Structure 1
């Protein structure tokens, strides 16, 4: 009998028991202490759980630890929710907590025995982990300053909440070929990176003042590296039915035999965009308006840092850089203390692993910003810290080859010290493997974990990609350089790159990086 392929195994597991039905098993495992069935391990993803690497685990510790991802609808956390997140981090996750590129939050060292209480705590503040992972529609990303930005095209908060609610635990969509990512944008800066979403909606204001949405489909990274295609326009009331129709096409036609070719973009590549659009149109009761691509903001300008005047009376919002999403219990406690001191109540995560405090009393904004900077949460970040991203990395991810979060922090500190007056934003992405979780292919400098040779011996290191960016149909994925180096040489390698640029005749760092592309 032939051995099952990975795709065959996953499809069989999903067919035999829906991922949503593993919840009762979670509670059973927690009560009885029985070992988790290896096939339930896959289903646990439907509730945001992944087994983690044993890299930091004591050899004599047999515990099966998990990473747990919590969905933050619209990326939002209130002060009350922050306090519960901090409690979970401290009591159940060894002080870990990281923001992700889908405006979620992740813990590590989670034990199955603690999940019933963790789920209860999350539910007590209206948070959950349903469809935070697995072959399902993931968290819908949106601009973190919806409703408070004077320059926004449209406030899409209600629409984002409705889509998330429609899809949450929806059994019609609990068995997709792979994950499905949606973005809804009302921001004038296009900050959700619609070009790499499976399905996205960009608000456009018509001459009569009404808003409609430009629809794009089939974007992706890693094995599905393609820029999304613009297919036309829909009205706000048509967004949800179109979303369901696209997901159904994906569910029924996606490749279930090869998981590396199982995303929506692969269908579009096989069919062609015209056939896809016709198939979609045939399933709808309304007509998609003809495509007419709009102008988008270049990804280097998609930022919301600093103190900004809010549309809310007497309020400001403060955009802050973390370092590759890491916050931890120390950062959470500092945030809570500053929230209480300065009378703020809410933050929102961004798709670049940063945060925005959305409702600071204007009279307190400058004082709060100063104290945030003092604790390493930077409203006015350096050109290296502003756009640093890193995936989970070797310490916790079983796919990773290289460590990432610590590398990213040390790299930023080193570059800030080495080049205090560097005047150009540099987007850097540190990835433990080729899966592109931290978006290396849309960064100025993308580092991807690999094995390299040093002194004739294979060691853990990175391969460098350069000059990636997003700008609508003119977007460009990062190019290979052929440059590889050991992890311990990362700081010096990037420093050498910048020094070489500074001594060159290139006018911009991006122009220089393009010259390095092979």
Structure 2
């Protein structure tokens, strides 16, 4: 599509109509162009909830395909991968051949916020229905596995009694809203975005008008100066900023996303006051619904529309056609240096403390969550938040309770005294449960963290919270659910020849990206031609990179800065 603009009849500038239909509703292109669009047009995802009672009685085999691999996602349910299927076969098998008769279930927790009753509810579901599985995702959700369709009515009733939901947790919907885990308590906070987040959830989650988007729509809202929600990779993000005339508000970003065509969000140059955030959010998501591309699933994200329109045209369409008013011009937020996580003990603005802990790559369990709830209650708190870095934060701890809480957390295996590797490593679900995955991730990353902590024990600065940080993001396929392109060391799952038996079955490996990041170092990192490693050799490679970085860095030079100037030979 050309980026030259033309004027529509309404006086709105936008790129000329493409030569072939992109399925844009606003241009009258409403005929479904893909199987997904066809079944969505026939019946929306919300309708499947009423049928689950029947499926629960009839069992897995009673669920038709459009519900099983489509509409049930609107309620947080994905079929999980059948065990024993080698990663090399992922792309060659049909969906029904990959399906197991169990589900992954995402619980929607906007801003990652839960109270003690909700935390104990999640723990109970894990132990009773999910074989003690529970993962903290980088979407601030809790994700269960081994869920049976027969148990879903009871699970929903239990969740909803605790004020928890799964609606719009997956599917072509407005997904969970990422919010700062320390919103409302951080001493250096610019503005608390929680009221806007809650208003959006109240007004629009489950809204029938927003249940047939071209694809998923991801939102982030944070008034924290550390920009702790990865706003650059969201469809829409509101970033805290001080306007010289109007005071604290939000800078508006649109059109970010990773996967196989990564793009960073673009600033619209607009300052949004807190009370206008829901209205602006609603205008942007309706642009996506109406103008978003529906011809191909792999181009059905808002980032492709932004790439073709540009921020100036996008803002004009938003103002003229959807908001019917002009937005206030605003300054860009300052770019933060250093860490974006919340691990450790930090003073709140009310004099209490928040304590951030680091489960390894987000993996917990019902047992751990129950023990965490007991430790939080003993510390006098009732507020826990999951983070966009697969970590957990306990809020509102008085100073006298902090030492005992830290000891209790260590006993659970949720330490706040984390190494750079435990603090900085994330991993997606991987081949253990995901039908798209090519390699194992959670187990591989857990082994990697343990190996690095052992091998680099002679470098004490890597075991202090004020030491250098290092992000290692591991993905089991190119879709980048764990953000491989924006990590210091990004790992994308591939199958590689077995070094010990090149003619035999392939083994898990990873293509390596180096020096990606957000904030000051926003970008997708450096690719070195042919730079890959088997999973077994990863500890050797990462140890080598860390030691070279620490030996060659200038002053407090970050890993990403070192990678930019390093010789290619030093990166092998």
TM-score bucket of the superposed structures, by smaller chain:
over 0.9
Aligned pairs for 1:182-201 (under 5 A) are: 182-201=219-238
* Matched residue, 1:249: 287
8 A Cα contact 1:383 1:426, kept in partner = yes
Residues 430, 476 of structure 2: 8 Å contact kept:
yes
Counterparts of 1:312 and 1:356 in 2: how far apart (Å)?
16
1:358 aligns with 2:385: no
1:505/1:80 Cα in 2 relative to 1: closer, same or farther (>3 Å)?
closer
The counterpart of 2:51, out of the listed 9, 18, 25, is: 25
How far apart, in 2, do the equivalents of 1:252 and 1:418 lie?
A: 54
Q: Alpha-carbon deviation of 1:319?
A: 1.3
Residue 211 of structure 1 is matched in structure 2 by 248
- Specify the alignment match of 2:490 in structure 1: 446
Pick from 311, 315, 333 the counterpart of residue 349 of structure 2: 311
> What is aligned with 2:525?
478
Contact 1:230–1:291 under 8 Å retained in 2: no
- The answer on 1:146 being equivalent to 2:183 is yes
- What's the CA shift for 1:344? 2.3
Contact 1:307/1:369 (CA < 8 Å) preserved in 2?
A: no
CA distance in 2, matches of 1:414, 1:333: 28
Query: Does the 8 Å CA contact 1:74/1:161 hold for their aligned counterparts?
Result: no
1:513 aligns with 2:566: no
Paired residue for 1:288, among 319, 327, 330? 327
**Contact 2:486 2:518 survives alignment (8 Å):** yes
In the alignment, structure 1 segments of 5+ residues that lack a partner are: 1-5
User: 1:3 maps to what in 2?
Assistant: none
Q: Counterpart of 1:236? A: 274
The one of 278, 302, 321 equivalent to 2:340 is 302
Post-superposition Cα deviations, 1:102-139, rounded to whole Å, max 9, x if no partner, equal 11110000010000000000001000100000001111
Deviations for 1:246-266, whole angstroms, at most 9, x for unmatched residues?
111111111111111111110
Cα contact 1:343–1:360 (8 A) shared by 2: yes
User: Of residues 162, 170, 184 in structure 2, which corresponds to 1:125?
Assistant: 162
Q: Separation in 1 of the partners of 2:196 and 2:447?
A: 40
Q: Alignment partner for residue 48 of structure 1, among 76, 93, 97?
A: 76
Give the counterpart of 2:174 among 112, 125, 137.
Answer: 137
Cα pair 2:473 2:487 within 8 Å, conserved: yes
497-506 or 409-418: which moved more?
Answer: 497-506
Contact preservation (8 Å) 2:257, 2:265: yes
Q: Which residue of 1 aligns with 2:380?
A: 343
How far apart, CA to CA, are the structure 1 residues paired with 2:140 and 2:561?
A: 31
Alignment partners' CA distance in 2, 1:505 and 1:203: 32
Displacement of 1:424 in angstroms is 2.3
1:498 equivalenced with 2:535 (yes/no): no
Cα drift, residue 447 of structure 1 = 0.7
Distance, in Å, in 2 between the alignment partners of 1:63 and 1:178 is 24
Q: 1:136-177 deviations in whole A, cap 9, x for unaligned?
A: 111111111111111111122111111122221011110000
More moved, 117-126 vs 320-329 = 320-329
Q: Which moved more, 1:282-291 or 1:345-354?
A: 282-291
Contact 2:196 2:275 in 1 (8 A): no
Distance 1:452-1:506 versus aligned 2 partners, 3 A rule: farther
CA RMSD between the two structures: 2.1
- In structure 2, relative to structure 1, the CA distance for the partners of 1:502 and 1:133 (3 Å cut) is same
The total of aligned residue pairs comes to: 506
**Are the counterparts in 1 of residues 188 and 224 from structure 2 also a CA contact under 8 Å?**
yes
Q: How does 1:459-478 map to 2 (within 5 A)?
A: 459-471=507-519, 475-478=522-525
8 Å CA contact 1:224–1:263 kept in 2: the answer is no
Q: How far does residue 207 in structure 1 lie from its aligned partner after superposition?
A: 4.3
Determine the C-alpha separation between the residues in 2 that align with 1:505 and 1:156.
Answer: 38
Q: Does 1:433 align with 2:467?
A: no
Alignment partner, residue 258 of structure 1: 296
Task: Determine the structure 2 residue equivalent to 1:89.
Answer: 126
**Would the aligned equivalents of 2:110 and 2:179 in 1 still touch at CA under 8 Å?**
no
For 1:13, the equivalent position in structure 2 comes to: 39
Give the CA deviation at 1:200. Answer: 0.8
The answer as to 2:143 corresponding to 1:106 is yes
Preserved contact between residue 7 and residue 259 of structure 1 (Cα < 8 Å): no
Question: Cα distance, 1:498 vs. partner?
Answer: 2.7
Deviations 1:408-449 (A, max 9, x none): 111111101111223521100111001000011110001111
Tell me, yes or no, if the aligned pair for 1:468 and 1:476 is still in contact at 8 Å: yes
Measured after TM superposition, the shift of residue 194 of structure 1 is 1.1
> Could you tell which deviates more after superposition, 139-148 or 448-457?
448-457
Q: Which string of whole-angstrom CA distances, capped at 9 and with x for unpartnered residues, describes residues 313-364 of structure 1?
A: 6x32101111111111232132122123322222101111101101223210
Asked if the contact 1:190–1:297 (Cα under 8 Å) also holds between the matched residues in 2, the reply is yes
SS of structure 2 residue aligned to 1:181: strand
User: Conserved in 1, the CA contact under 8 Å of 2:125 and 2:366?
Assistant: no
Q: Paired residue for 2:317?
A: 279
- Tell me how far 1:225 sits from its aligned partner: 1.2
In structure 2, what is the equivalent of residue 268 of structure 1?
306
SS in structure 2 opposite 1:146? Answer: coil
Shift of 1:492: 2.1
Residue 489 of structure 1 deviates from its aligned partner by 2.0
Contact kept in structure 1, 2:80 and 2:100, CA below 8 Å: no
Taking structure 1 as the reference length, the TM-score comes to: 0.93
